[in-house]
Amino acid sequence: MVEGGMKCVKYLIFFFNFIFVISGIALVAMGAVIKGYYDKYLDFLSDDVFSVPVLLIVVGVIIFFVAFMGCCGAIRESYCMTMTFAVLLALIFILELAAGIAAYLLRDEIADTLNKNMNATMQNYGKPDHSGVTKTWDGMQMEFDCCGAANYTDWATTEFGAGRAVPTSCCRVPSRDDCGAGVLDMSYEQADGVIFARGCLGSLIAEAGRSWHTYAIVGAVFVAVEILSILLGCCLAHTYKYTGYSNVAV
């Protein structure tokens, strides 16, 4: 009866470790995708924001190797390896919890950080030694169909806007290089017929919010599976040590 129960637990450990192998690969991929996506907005975001996807990549790699150890411990019926698997998984859980708390706290700061950095980097738009900033702004304005941080009038406070123009990347139909000329002298309604007059800040925050919501749901499911695996690992290790079920000397 006990042996049959332990075999069931062992197979569950195998099953969850298979999930962890896939999850480890998925976390590495997710971290890389998040970092790659937000790299193009590097000028607008703080270093704290980029520490979260890096942590995901590190945790993903660790999970992959810990899952391998869990499989070996179950196969060899070793108390040491199975208990090590459970302890390492608990440490990973703590790391993930820290990453989740950091991401949650940073969520409220992202809007202020974006607004501050977007307005600051606009001052360097179009300058030869700030081609990265120019490329970032052009890419964002074309991707989100927007102009400036709050709206197109933000360009009036920049050196680029001294000529009463906005970047071509703001234009609805950027068919010529001067399509943004004189836009800053127009009313909002007039300008909106030529360019996308609304600002980019709201779109960028909304995009970040959608991403974090998805990652939070996936993370919650993963954490639930992790907690169950820690409990099963401890149960299996305890059985190996105290019931004599283990086939490998401790």
Cα–chain center distance at 177: 36
Q: For the chain, what is the mean pLDDT?
A: 77
Angle at 106 between CA 102 and CA 107, to 5 degrees: 120
Q: Is 157 helix (H, G, I), strand (E, B) or coil?
A: helix
CA distance 132 to 126: 10
Whole-number Cα distances in Å, 232 to 9, 117, 122, 127: 7, 48, 54, 60
Q: For residue range 97-149, list pLDDT tens digits in order.
A: 777 777 677 666 777 878 888 888 899 998 888 888 898 899 899 989 999 99
- What's the average model confidence in pLDDT over 243-249? 47
- Tokens representing residue 194 in the block: 């030529």
pLDDT bucket at 152, cuts 50 / 70 / 90: very high
Q: Which of 5-14, 56-65, 176-185 has the highest mean pLDDT?
A: 176-185
**pLDDT at residue 236 is higher than 90:** no
DSSP-assigned beta bridge partners for residue 198: 151
